[in-house]
Amino acid sequence: MFIWASAFAGIRYVLRQIDPMSMTALRLFAAAGFLSLMVVILRVRLPRRADWPRLLAAAVLGFSVYHYLLNLGTETITAGQASFIIATIPIWTAVLAWRFLGERLSPTNWLGLVLGLTGVGLMSIDFSHVTIGFGSWLVLGAALCAAANIVITKDLLLRYRAIDIAAYAGIIGALPFLLHLPWTWTASADLDLSGWLVLLYLGVIPIGVGYWLSSIALAALPASRVAQMLLLIPPMAAVIAWVTIGETPSMMLYIGGPLILIGVVLGRKSTTS
């Protein structure tokens, strides 16, 4: 979660030099390059033929479609509103995990989700600028894709190592962005050295290493529990942005942050299956 939270300050820095879609494409290409190297070094094995549909679904939903919908959606709504919608991922994951993995959440788990989501809302939303339009639905679609990716990955981890799933999902997920390569190539000329270094970090660490580590956690914990820990990202991201790029956090961090922590602690009560 800390690695993923560190991405937001880096994204804001790179977006000063390049457009969102080109930045996303370059991030995914960097992640795919790193994961391709891991395929060779760690001798990642090929998936069974029967598992390819699930793997393709995880890659396309969790990487390609997620990033595409998120980028399109955030062009018409505020970043805070988008952050709140993305924070609903644990709820959709809990529903899908109940339906497809047989996981059950206790009333305490649900209370933790509600408190955590409330904390994110207090931190991120300026209610005077909330709009419910096409952009909101696109970001909601991105959240649903991320939840589906978590549940599908959880199922695949019953048969594969975390690096196996992370490598192939990351590589396959980057392929559709090759269609954006001509525009990406042109936009990349605007990046200076620091922009390139931050961009490489954003691809290799938050996407490549981050997805690998989250897959390790997902192999050991219920899908709904891992998803609930995503609620830790907003307060972590606010503190990291404060330290690294000087963004002063909202005063609501001091209210929303503790609510999120309480929610995640309540979510530690066992999820039954």
pLDDT digits (tens, 9 = 90+) for 130-166: 566 788 889 899 999 999 999 999 999 999 999 999 9
Tell me which residue of 202, 203, 237 sits closest to 5, measured CA to CA.
237
Q: What secondary structure letter does DSSP report for 44?
A: P
CB atoms within 10 A of CB 181: 13
CA distance 90 to 182: 36
Q: What pLDDT is attached to residue 129?
A: 59
> Strand, coil or helix: what is 270?
coil
The mean pLDDT of 7-20, rounded to a whole number, is: 86
* Cα diameter, the chain: 53
pLDDT confidence of 25, banded at 50, 70, 90? very high
Tens of pLDDT, residues 208-221: 999 999 999 999 99
Q: What pLDDT is attached to residue 204?
A: 96
**Of 59-63, 154-158, 189-193, 253-257, where does mean pLDDT reach its minimum?**
253-257
The total number of residues shown for the chain amounts to 273
The mean pLDDT of 115-138, rounded to a whole number, is: 74
Q: What pLDDT is attached to residue 273?
A: 46
Across the chain, mean pLDDT equals 87
Q: Where are the domains of the chain?
A: 2-266
Tell me which residue of 164, 157, 272, 257 sits closest to 225, measured CA to CA.
272
pLDDT at 26 over 70: yes
The mean pLDDT of 242-246, rounded to a whole number, is: 81
- Cβ contacts of 217 within 8 Å, gap of 6 or more: 226, 229
Tens of pLDDT, residues 166-211: 999 999 999 999 999 889 989 889 899 999 999 999 999 999 999 9
Q: What pLDDT is attached to residue 269?
A: 63
Share of the chain above pLDDT 90, in %: 43
Tell me which residue of 32, 54, 21, 64 sits closest to 184, measured CA to CA.
21
The position carrying tokens 């924070």 is 87
Look at 269 and 86; give whichever has higher pLDDT: 86
